[in-house]
Each structure stands twice: as structure tokens, then as C-alpha cells.
Amino acid sequence: MVLALVAVVVLAVVVGAIMLKTSARDKVLAFVRRLFPPVRTLSMKLASSRVASVLSMMLSSGFPTNEAFRLLPSVLSDGEASDKVAGIRKELDGGAAFADAISNSKLFDGLHDRMIRMGVAAGREDQVMAKIADLYEEQVEEGIARLVSIIEPTLIVLLAIVIGAVLLSVMLPMAGILSSML
């Protein structure tokens, strides 16, 4: 039974790997985001980092703000973040202020929203966006390290249990045969 369970798990991993290389990749990743809140949080922070980084680059090179928000969804793989960027663009097209549109989208945390407001007031939006991108990037790296530090011991324990079960399933019948021979 344990061997059958291991075979099913291996088959599931192989099917999962195949699906990740197909068109169902986005659906699988969205399912994983919904299933594991830490992955969803990291995904959103990564998207926020990308948005801030691209905005910093575009604003510092003289792109108009509306044009920058039009091009932003092409660098985002997260549908939720793309929707938020589209919302920001609609607000900007409607005449909203840059800082207000970003704040209303909830794409960035409250502290970062305040940083953006200060940067807009000082005329340094590009520099503030670069700093925010760096902060989010650090948070994503720390979050990934935390997840890996949790996953590694968990996998070791699971593998020890599976190997122990396999050994018991082999050794117990052998012990029964040996005791019947004596």
C-alpha cells in the first residue's frame, strides 16, 4: 500500500511538471497561490516589486505616466496585479493624481503609499519607485528563504516516514517467515 502511495505521488509530480510546461501553467500557479497564502503574499510582493522597478525605469527615462501604465501588464505574470495596474491606468485616464491612483489600487503597502506621496511632492517619483522595488525585492528574498527553511525539514521528515514504512513492509513479512521456520 505504501509503495502504491509513493507511485501515486511520483505520478502526480510528473503530471504536475508536465502541466507547468503547458498552457495550463497559469491555472496551476493560480491554484497554488490560492492554496498556500504565503505563496500568494510572495507573488503579490514580487508583482509590486516589478511594477515599482518598471515604473522607476520608465519615469526616469522620460516616459509619460499613462504610457508606462499601458506597458506595465506585459511584464506581470500575476493576473491580480495586472488588474490592479489596469485600475490605476483607468483612474489616471479619469484625471486622478498619480499618488491617489496608486494608493487606491492597494498594490503597495501603506508605508510605501506614503513614500510615493512624498516622492511625488518632491518630484522624485522614479527614485522612490526604485527604493520601493528594492524593499519589495528584499522582502521576497527573505520570504523565499523562510519557505525553503520550512519545506526542507518537512520533506526530510516525510521521506523518513515513507522509507520507514517501506522498510517495515519488507521486514515484517520476512520476520514472520523466519519465526514460522523456527
Residue range 7-57, pLDDT digits in tens: 788 777 777 666 556 556 667 677 777 787 888 888 889 889 999 999 999
Place of cell 500500500: 1
Domain boundary assignment for the chain: 1-35, 37-151
> Looking at residue 77, what is its pLDDT?
74
> Looking at residue 22, what is its pLDDT?
58
Mean pLDDT across 106-117: 90
Contact criterion met (CB below 8 Å) for 53 and 130: yes
Q: Is the pTM of the predicted complex or chain greater than 0.85?
A: no
Calculate ∠ Cα 132-136-140, nearest 5°.
170
CATH 1.20.81.30 fits 37-151, yes or no: yes
> Looking at residue 138, what is its pLDDT?
94
> Looking at residue 125, what is its pLDDT?
87
Which of 132, 137, 134, 86 has its CA nearest to residue 108? 132
